[in-house]
């Protein structure tokens, strides 16, 4: 847990399937990763670190079962074929920014510059700015044909794929919807990490429209990680108990667009 906290400064958290396409009757195996530029360390299955770790299969939501210390963190055997959606929600983690300049760089990078003026308006010190954050990650995995669809999972913030990349739904880009508290989050930045077969990563951004939707350009044979961050004031009880000034909520979605 301490390692995760030390890597938190603008580092993404994602679910990384070992194989995004598995044969019918095969096992879905996935790692939990924290890092930058779509590269990061793998973390074990540790229940105190998450509020929710589930998979959606053929219309049913079930918990990912594991033993403390399992790495990769998820190994799920299923019968039949279809689209599996893995879901992971972390517990809260607290951090203190080393410098205000680092915090400023972070909020600018995550398209939340409004927090800087609000920081001043609220009279918050620039010294030892405290933040609480949590992660809301999903991954799409094809089992056999991969037929099926992503859907809202009821997360505080989440990215929902409106098309299935494994069944020909991404030739002209993959449509996604960004939600916050169940409602579309319009005019928001989504960071797009694209990794090719050689492991080379390129980063770009798209913006959602008024309906919270955006089209992510997709190239066959590449893996994608989408990331969007909400910055907000923390709940009063947490702010008081933990001396926290800001809260960040990280939505993440990973998928592969096959040849």
**Is 139 in contact with 14 (CB distance < 8 Å)?**
yes
Query: Does residue 6 surpass a pLDDT of 80?
Result: no
Tokens of 90: 């972390």
62-116 pLDDT, tens digit per residue, is 999 999 999 999 999 999 999 999 999 999 999 999 999 999 999 999 999 999 9
3-state SS, residue 2: helix
Alpha helix (H) residue ranges in the chain: 2-6, 100-109, 114-121, 236-242
Query: Does residue 140 surpass a pLDDT of 90?
Result: yes
Q: How far is residue 35 from each of residues 5, 16, 100, 145, 209, measured CA to CA in Å?
A: 12, 12, 22, 31, 28
Window from 2-16, 43-57, 91-105, 192-206 with minimum mean pLDDT? 2-16
DSSP 25: T
Q: How far is residue 197 from each of residues 32, 44, 205, 224, measured CA to CA in Å?
A: 20, 26, 21, 12
38-61 pLDDT, tens digit per residue, is 999 999 999 999 999 999 999 999
What's the confidence (pLDDT) of residue 219?
93
Query: Does residue 20 surpass a pLDDT of 60?
Result: yes
Tokens of 88: 């992971």
Tokens of 28: 């879905």
Ranges of each domain in the chain: 2-94+129-257
The Cβ-side half-sphere exposure at 136, using a 13 Å CA radius, reads: 21
């Amino acid at each position: 847990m301490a390692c995760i906290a030390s890597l938190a400064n603008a580092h993404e958290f994602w679910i990384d399937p070992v194989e995004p396409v598995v044969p019918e009757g095969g096992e879905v195996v996935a790692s939990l990763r924290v890092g930058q530029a779509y590269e990061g360390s793998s973390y074990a299955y540790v229940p105190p670190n998450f509020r929710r770790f589930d998979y959606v299969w053929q219309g049913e939501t079930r918990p990912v079962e594991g033993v403390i210390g399992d790495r990769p963190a998820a190994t799920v055997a299923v019968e039949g074929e279809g689209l599996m959606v893995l879901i992971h929600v972390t517990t809260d983690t607290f951090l203190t920014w080393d410098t205000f300049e680092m915090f400023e760089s972070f909020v600018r990078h995550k398209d939340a510059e409004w927090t800087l003026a609000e920081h001043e308006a609220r009279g918050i010190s620039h010294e030892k700015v405290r933040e609480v954050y949590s992660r809301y990650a999903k991954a799409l995995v094809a089992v056999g044909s991969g037929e099926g669809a992503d859907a809202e999972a009821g997360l505080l913030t989440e990215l929902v794929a409106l098309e299935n990349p494994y069944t020909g739904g991404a030739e002209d880009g993959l449509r996604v919807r960004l939600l916050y508290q169940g409602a579309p989050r319009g005019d928001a930045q989504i960071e797009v990490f694209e990794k090719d077969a050689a492991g080379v990563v390129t980063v770009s951004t798209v913006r959602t429209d008024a309906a919270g939707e955006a089209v992510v350009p997709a190239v066959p044979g590449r893996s994608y990680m989408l990331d969007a961050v909400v910055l907000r004031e923390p709940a009063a009880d947490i702010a008081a108990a933990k001396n926290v000034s800001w809260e960040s909520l990280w939505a993440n979605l990973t998928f592969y667009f096959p040849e």
